[in-house]
Amino acid sequence: MGGSHFDPEQRVEESAIEFLTQVREYLTEYAKLFNVSSDGGVRYQEVKIYSIANSASDFMLFRNQIKLVFSHAAHGILHIVFAQHHHRAAVAGDGQAATTNDGQSQELHAQIGAFRDVHWTYQGERVTPEQVAQFYFSEFVRATREFKRGKSSNQALLDQIKNLLQEKGLDL
């Protein structure tokens, strides 16, 4: 055996950043496809992706005052949480924004495999960044859908995005 030292904590930390970066790359692609169909926000609100300050890999999706936050919460744990964004002016009078967690937090857990590889699990099942991105993008679009009078349903758009993803070899 070689003299290299294996640091499992360091490997898990590196894997967390890599995993979230890959999820963000997929979500960025899906958001581009979705936003192209929005006609610059004319037909419906676009999905935006923001980095979270002071973090190497945390980010969020934002649309219609709802956030979907992906964060490296603790060693070996990634949090995914839906949150409602609102202004506190009506309540507190200070005009500042606040975010409330609606209780839909979910976690991915790191596991070190037989050959020191790190994989991520959800409820004990191994998941890939692509699976996580597909599932949560679909859920986010559904959760942030707003029906407006005179506007067509987003279902046709969701079907179109699903078809585009399938054409790229990505199944939803």
Q: What is the pLDDT of residues 96-135, one digit of tens each?
A: 444 455 556 899 999 999 888 999 999 999 999 999 999 9
Q: What are the pLDDT digits (tens) for 11-27?
A: 999 999 999 999 999 99
Query: Cα separation of 78 and 152, whole Å?
Result: 36
The dihedral built from the CA positions of residue 87, 47, 27 and 152, taken in this order, carries a sign that is: positive
Query: Cα separation of 31 and 36, whole Å?
Result: 8
Nearest to 142 by CA among 160, 156, 154, 125: 154
- Kindly indicate the confidence band of residue 89, based on its pLDDT and cuts at 50, 70 and 90: very low
- Kindly indicate the confidence band of residue 7, based on its pLDDT and cuts at 50, 70 and 90: confident
Share of the chain above pLDDT 70, in %: 74
Q: What are the pLDDT digits (tens) for 25-53?
A: 999 999 999 998 877 667 788 999 999 98
**The pTM of the whole model exceeds 0.75:** no
Q: Quick one: average pLDDT of 163-170?
A: 70
As a whole number of angstroms, the longest Cα–Cα distance in the chain is: 69
pLDDT value of residue 148: 43
- Kindly indicate the confidence band of residue 155, based on its pLDDT and cuts at 50, 70 and 90: low
- Kindly indicate the confidence band of residue 86, based on its pLDDT and cuts at 50, 70 and 90: low
Nearest to 16 by CA among 172, 101, 121, 140: 121
β-bridge mates for residue 101, sequence order: 83
3-state secondary structure the chain: CCCCCCCHHHHHHHHHHHHHHHHHHHHHHHHHHHHHCCCCCCCCCCCEEEECCCCCCCEEEEECCEEEEEEEEECCEEEEEEEEEEECHHHHCCCCEEEEECCCCEEEEEEECCCCCEEEEECCEEECHHHHHHHHHHHHHHHCCCCCCCCCCCHHHHHHHHHHHHHCCCCC
